[in-house]
Amino acid sequence: MISPFFEINKTSTGKARAGTITTDHGTIQTPIFMPVGTVASVKTVHQRELRDDIKAQIILGNTYHLNLRPKMDIMQAAGGLHKFMNWELPILTDSGGYQVFSLSKSRKLTEEGVKFKSHIDGSAHFISPEKSMEIQRQIGADIFMAFDECTPYPCEYNLAKDSMEMTHRWLKRCIEWTEENLEIYGHKQRLFPIVQGSTYSDLRKASAEFISEQNAEGNAIGGLSVGEPEEEMYRITNEVTDILPKNKPRYLMGVGTPWNILESIGLGVDMMDCVMPTRNARNAMLFTWQGVMNMKNEKWKDDFSKLDEFGTSYVDSEYSKAYVRHLFVAKEYLAKQIASVHNLAFYLDLVRVAREHIIAGDFYEWKNSVIPVLKQRL
């Protein structure tokens, strides 16, 4: 018997749930955190570390970046992203919408799509819903995202409304193109649409309803974690998960801190991604079960205890706090590698333990007790 794409294994007193996603590249136990490998690499981390030590179950690639480098001729010649980067497990690709709006130097937006200049060399490019779908077929991720427009925060109501409506029209074009142009590499790909609407409840509800009607295999919530207060993010997430179908996975894009992740799980989110664990690691910020450590802090200079006695990665027991501080102060590359592996392993451990508590039936009590500890500055 073929497993369904998404199965809920356990529900809770609230919206939190434990589930299983089944793709042609393996299964994913939800709730899950997905490390970001923008240009076919999770920064400073080897694939074998991701797989064997961090225990990532799915990683992200990015359409905008991969289309500029190495370009799609190379990607297709390699046989797709899985083969190109030698990653056998599931991959999700972002549509490139967010990057076009945040990175490209100049952009001209029309109904047809977006003209923009590359952030690398200034060369002119055009991306449309159809083009984004074509690139994502060539990349070959197991889950791929609809091409959406991302509004900044704060965003004036009418602008947010117009943008959301265009995202909906673009979604129809994405669906139509993918129905007419099937997978290239022989494994199944699944398209997730994205709920938009800025911080306006009525727009978010309208978008969530429209997205639900498309009957995709999973749904995403976009346009959050862009500078709005945490309370706003939780409020919108809660309103949207009330509407999105319960039997489909829900992906909250670009979130967040360890406590954001736990709160989002509590609001019925199944999948999350963020650059925070790796980006903050490169700036010497380590997340742990005991709180947040700044590894450049003088207090660690003669602390020869393990980097993290509760950490699950090999770096946590093989290196001391004093040594990692020394590497950061000396600006050694190894510091960034150690910190990145640590933070990613912690994030994966965080969602694994959250899942255990959902199954045990005490997720909310556990979440509320652990969040104040996670936020402590050590």
In tens, the pLDDT along 295-314 reads 999 999 999 999 999 999 99
pLDDT at 132: 98
Q: Is the pLDDT of residue 284 over 80?
A: yes
Confidence of residue 104 (pLDDT cuts 50, 70, 90): low
pLDDT band at 202 (very low <50, low <70, confident <90, very high): very high
Report the helix count and the strand count for the chain, using DSSP H and E: 15, 17
The CB-side HSE value for 148 (13 A sphere, CA atoms) comes to 28
pLDDT grade for 98, boundaries at 50, 70 and 90: confident
Gap between the Cα atoms of 376 and 19, Å rounded: 30
> What is the residue extent of each domain of the chain?
32-273, 282-375
Here the tokens at position 263 are: 């709160």
pTM across the whole model: 0.98
User: Which of these, 145, 146, 144, 140, lies nearest to 75 by C-alpha position?
Assistant: 140
pLDDT tens per residue across span 252-281: 999 999 999 999 999 999 999 999 999 999
Q: For the segment 157-185, what is each residue's pLDDT rounded down to a tens digit?
A: 999 999 999 999 999 999 999 999 999 99
Say whether domain 32-273 belongs to CATH 3.40.50.920: no
- 359-370 pLDDT, tens digit per residue, is 999 999 999 999
Q: Is the pLDDT of residue 105 over 80?
A: no
Sequence-distant (≥ 6) Cβ neighbours of residue 184 within 8 angstroms: 76, 80, 137, 138, 140
Helix (H) or strand (E) holding 83: helix 81-85
Residue 357: how many other CB atoms lie within 10 Å: 20
pLDDT digits 0-9 by tens, 16-72: 999 999 999 999 999 999 999 999 999 999 999 999 999 999 999 999 999 999 999
Can you tell me the distance from the alpha carbon of 42 to that of 85, in angstroms, rounded to the nearest whole number?
A: 11
Q: Is the separation of the CB atoms in 55 and 348 below 8 Å?
A: yes
Q: Which amino acids are annotated catalytic?
A: 94, 273
Average predicted confidence (pLDDT) for the chain: 97
Residue 328 has pLDDT above 70, yes or no: yes
User: Rounded to whole angstroms, how far apart are CA atoms 235 and 165?
Assistant: 22
Mean pLDDT computed over 182-199? 98
Quote the pLDDT of residue 21. 98
